[in-house]
Amino acid sequence: MNEKSEGFTFIELIIVIGILAIIAIIAVPKLIGYRSLAVERVCETNRDTVARQYEVYIQTKDQGESRFNQFLNENFDEVCSDDGIITYEDCRVKCSIHKSVSDEDEPPGDGVPWL
C-alpha cells in the first residue's frame, strides 16, 4: 500500500484560499482608491482644457454663465466622468464634485505616485 498521491490536500487548498482572501482584502481598497484618484485627475485635466479653450473663445464674445454653458454644449460631451456640474467662477472652471489639485495640500491616499 505504498501509493504515491500527487496533488494538493484539502488543508493545503484551504490555506491557499485563505492567503488569497487576505491579499484581496488588502488590495481591493487600494485599487478602488486608485480608480477614484484617476477619475479626479481626468476631471482636472478636462477642466484645464475647457478653461484654456474658453479663454480663447471669450476673446471674441461676451463673457457670462449662459455663454459658458453654450460653449460647453457646443464643444464638450463630458468633462467630469462622475457627472459633476461644471461652472465658470472667478475665472476658473470648477466641478461640483472634484476640487482643484491646487486647492489640496497633499494628494488623497497614501503612496499614490504623481505622474
Whether 22 is covered by a domain: the verdict is yes
Domain containing 53: what range? Answer: 14-103
Q: How many domains does the chain have?
A: 1
SS3 of 93, please? strand
For the entire predicted model, the pTM comes to: 0.53
Residues in the chain: 115
Strands (E), the chain: 86-89, 92-95
Full pLDDT tens readout for the chain, 115 residues: 456 667 889 999 999 999 999 999 999 888 888 888 888 899 899 888 988 888 888 777 766 667 888 888 888 888 888 888 888 887 788 888 887 755 554 445 554 444 4
Whether 5 is covered by a domain: the verdict is no
Phi, psi of 28 (to 5 degrees): -60, -45
Give the separation between CA 46 and CA 41, rounded to whole angstroms.
8
Whether 77 is covered by a domain: the verdict is yes
Whether 1 is covered by a domain: the verdict is no
Asked if 26 contacts 65 with a C-beta cutoff of 8 angstroms, the reply is no
Whether 108 is covered by a domain: the verdict is no
The grid coordinates of residue 53 equal: 479653450
How many Cα atoms sit within 13 Å of 72 on the Cβ side? 19
